[in-house]
Structure 1
């Protein structure tokens, strides 16, 4: 095929208007339950008008191989989190064809387009509540209508969880049954951590990662927690023989070493830093990505909540221990740095049924060195600027875990086994933080570089089909066919 490059450069128009109105009047929703949450002044922010060309640049190299669809772009930046929480749908020319307005701020996450045409999103409403928390923290979950107005909202303040404060962070997911999976930070005391054998730093607060399944009730604007999984329930440690969970790390690959790595900067008090999750309905399993462990973990979701908190002792059965882990066998003392495959990856998802590679796992590996992370620091504008100066090459792995009689296989060397199906990298593609990879119906893969504000579509043979330079940082971009978004244009 003859290659050519078509560069479409259009000006970036960002028009921001702010309106403050009474919350009920602004949304047109009925009054909330009297004690559900206090009334707040609601901000409605418009980023761009329909028809505005907001894409900064489009380099189309192989037009005949392009997946024809609409690009979904949601602003997110894990470090510079004081941003407007908005989403847009863009056509092939980078023009806005639909937008979802917002009354939230906060970055470090994406939003998901629902079949209704509304969004599932998270963001920040009360900055005092999330102050001092780790990166990408939020306090509010929303389901919106097609305009971005919330039809259901949940504040983390209203969730009672083991007597501990929680916040949401990084990623959530709409499930086929209408429920929501969401990553959480659970604020526990150093005393509680120590009782579990976890020496988690000298601070007054320790954050334990977890996953909540929430059943939303849109009619009553209420919620129910129907399932959860907690990191602290599935630890192994070899530092204190008198404390709980003591054992030999290498003897328990199904458990998580609470002290790995031995030294982690900048924040010892959050040692998992989960940054992505996905759900496979056929297997009833959840995959989560751990930034600090440089691993992906598979968890059984078919358990009860009580079973999810229990241990299988390495045996096959109902429990919340890890079914499979991959990317860094040194994390469970069954490998060295030479065997490390991932370095601070930020996205792991199953290829959906009906798509090429269905059932395989796609992992977006940032391949960012730990020394670079230490230089960037904990967050803020200076850290966001510093991340842009980092150098390297990111890559994408498509893997198929080895399964025998329903169990994930551990190879002779002691690490979990998987077959590499596809691998992609390009010398000009580096995403130091965040980013994602999503399979498209024609077999192409959509890649997002959050820091670079760009999205690439690449073919299965590795060729770059198109390069988008977008209007804002995006965690994970998506493409939808005309049929999938038809109700937005009715």
Structure 2
């Protein structure tokens, strides 16, 4: 396939007007992308303004779910390294670790739970492409899916769908009459398969549907609980469809992007497993109840601005701000949103608990209803992986599109990797 790269640098409205009068290429970064222009490579390195420069000190880790490929590329689209998955299918995530190893989520074959993004098996591939370890968490009762994070203690932590039968769901106050698959989080020692910690959404439900069933209460008065009926019309039982997990080890907090609730959940990881099944214990003394949530206060009947509509990848920055990809923020148009997060967290019933949006990028040609990611690069630019379009964007703080690359078919995520980092050194790059 021909590589197609577009590099764009703009500085003023006047330049835009001049370029528009000379060529239609500029239309490729407006609402009407010019396919012919995207099929060509253009470079403009005439500016010395770092704010208008691509981050040439970074390579890009590309996770292409359509081809089950994981690659490192440069800004010219050259593939510098490709990992051998031995013919296995990605379960979405591929994460480059500091020692040059790759942590993978792969599709298992022993589960009937098969919603989009299913995985079930995890593998760690060493820098020399040998397999360090492989472990599975998959059965007809539960299945790991989408994302995994590698902890400093060597454990992995990942998202899980777990089956709740129709009868069990009814007793929990679910308004439907079918099985449901709420989220769980499992921390595992991958060398032994031992479960070190776990959390289950079903332990933290609230519902105002049936006063004779469990979990009955006033939803707005329980902001730390999860309304089991918020998305009860989801007929396949995949009520929440979480897709991203990030662990802040410094504060012992877990962030989860919950696609069908259009929000980010924050969970206290300082609890024991027993405390995580309750509403007490841990640093916040809330047990496994949500210590914070944001993006869609309608999920708990609360006030505040709705700033997310579908969501992927809770990318916690060094500043403690968070980037997320809002898949359908503008009804057929995606956006990258940066939130200013302030610890310690608190949720107050009936009050606006939403964090401030401090930066946003959108474009009328940016849209992917599934997958996608956003990462902050070393020079302050933002790298965007536009999922179903297979397009990689690099934009600066002012929202100017500096670079677009369209060679891939469907992206899970893209990650900036600094040249000279230990991971690249281990890979010989």
Which category describes the TM-score, using the shorter chain as reference length? 0.7 to 0.9
Residues 132 and 302 (structure 1), Cα distance of their counterparts in 2 relative to 1, 3 Å cut:
closer
Q: Distance in 1 between matches of 2:315 and 2:294?
A: 13
**Displacement after TM superposition at 1:268 (Å):** 4.3
Q: Is contact 2:159–2:183 with CA below 8 Å preserved after alignment?
A: yes
Q: Distance in 2 between matches of 1:72 and 1:56?
A: 22
**Displacement after TM superposition at 1:56 (Å):** 6.9
Q: How does 1:342-361 map to 2 (within 5 A)?
A: 342-351=308-317, 353=318, 358-361=319-322
Partner of 1:71: 60
Q: Give SS of 1:117's match.
A: coil
**Displacement after TM superposition at 1:197 (Å):** 2.4
Q: How does 1:142-291 map to 2 (within 5 A)?
A: 142-157=123-138, 165-202=141-178, 205-217=179-191, 222-264=192-234, 267-291=235-259
Q: Aligned to 1:408, which of 342, 346, 359?
A: 346
Residues 242 and 472 (structure 1), Cα distance of their counterparts in 2 relative to 1, 3 Å cut:
same
Q: Is contact 1:208–1:270 with CA below 8 Å preserved after alignment?
A: yes
**Displacement after TM superposition at 1:201 (Å):** 3.8
| Mean Cα deviation higher: 319-328 or 105-114 | 105-114
Residues 231 and 414 (structure 1), Cα distance of their counterparts in 2 relative to 1, 3 Å cut:
same
Q: Distance in 2 between matches of 1:471 and 1:462?
A: 23
Partner of 1:319: 287
Q: Distance in 1 between matches of 2:361 and 2:307?
A: 13
Residues 481 and 316 (structure 1), Cα distance of their counterparts in 2 relative to 1, 3 Å cut:
closer
Q: Output one character per residue of 1:98-145: Cα deviation in whole Å (capped at 9) or x when no partner.
A: 11111354356220001221210111242xx23452211112111112
Q: Distance in 2 between matches of 1:143 and 1:276?
A: 19
Superposition misfits of 4+ residues, deviation over 6 angstroms: 1-5
**Displacement after TM superposition at 1:417 (Å):** 3.0
Q: Output one character per residue of 1:185-213: Cα deviation in whole Å (capped at 9) or x when no partner.
A: 112322232332234543xx431211111
Q: How does 1:412-431 map to 2 (within 5 A)?
A: 414-431=351-368
Q: Is contact 2:291–2:347 with CA below 8 Å preserved after alignment?
A: no
Q: Give SS of 2:427's match.
A: helix
Give the TM-score normalised by structure 2. 0.83
Q: Distance in 1 between matches of 2:10 and 2:299?
A: 47
Q: Alignment length, in residue pairs? A: 389
Q: Output one character per residue of 1:315-340: Cα deviation in whole Å (capped at 9) or x when no partner.
A: 9514011111111111101148xx32
Q: Is contact 1:396–1:425 with CA below 8 Å preserved after alignment?
A: yes
Q: Distance in 2 between matches of 1:156 and 1:276?
A: 17
Partner of 1:135: 116
